[in-house]
Amino acid sequence: MRVWLITIGEPVPTDGHDERLLRTGILARLLSQNGHEVVWWCSSFDHTRKKQRTVHEVSTTVSDGYRLMVLRSRGYQRNISLARLLDHREHATRFAELAPREPIPDVILCSMPTIDLSRAAVKYAVSRKIPVVLDIRDLWPEIFVDLAPRWARGLARLILTPLFRDLRWACSHATALTSMTPQILQWGLGYANRSRSELDREFPFGYEERRPTDVELREANEFWKEHGIAVDSKQFFVVFFGTIGRQFDLDTVIDAARRLDGGSRAFHFILCGAGDRLDYYKKAAAGLSNVSFPGWVGSSEIWALMRIAHLGLAPYHNTKDFCASIPNKPIEYLSAGLPVLSPLTGVLHDLLLRNGCGVFYSEGGVKSLVDALELSYDDPAHLKIMANNAINLFQERFTAEIVYSNMKKYLEEVSNSVT
Note the pLDDT tens digit of each residue in 53-84: 988 888 999 999 999 999 999 988 887 788 88
Tell me the CATH number at 190. Answer: 3.40.50.2000
- d(CA 305, CA 307) in angstroms, rounded, equals 5
319 with 404, same domain? Answer: no
Q: Do residues 199 and 228 share a domain?
A: no
Peptide bond into 113 cis (omega under 30): yes
| Domain boundaries, position 311 | 214-397
Given a contact cutoff of 8 angstroms between Cβ atoms, the answer to whether 239 and 270 are in contact is: yes
Number of domains in the chain: 2
pLDDT in tens, 95-111: 999 999 999 999 999 99
Residues 165 and 290 in one domain: no
pLDDT digits (tens, 9 = 90+) for 220-274: 999 999 888 877 778 999 999 988 988 899 999 999 999 999 899 999 999 999 8
107/50 same-domain check: yes
CB 194 within 8 A of CB 172: yes
Report the sign of the C-alpha dihedral through residues 414, 327, 399, 105, in that order.
Answer: positive
Report the sign of the C-alpha dihedral through residues 81, 82, 87, 91, in that order. positive
Do residues 223 and 252 lie in contact, with contact meaning Cβ atoms separated by under 8 Å? no
Q: Do 169 and 278 belong to one domain?
A: no
Q: Are 128 and 78 in the same domain?
A: yes
Q: Looking at the structure, tell me whether residues 62 and 169 fall in a common domain.
A: yes
pTM of the full structure: 0.90
- Tell me how far apart the alpha carbons of residues 44 and 416 are, in angstroms, rounded to a whole number: 32
User: What 3-state DSSP class applies to 378?
Assistant: helix
The Cα 213–Cα 219 span in angstroms is: 10
Cα dihedral sign, 34-40-44-50: negative
Cα–Cα distance between 312 and 329 in angstroms, integer? Answer: 9
75 and 115 in one domain?
yes
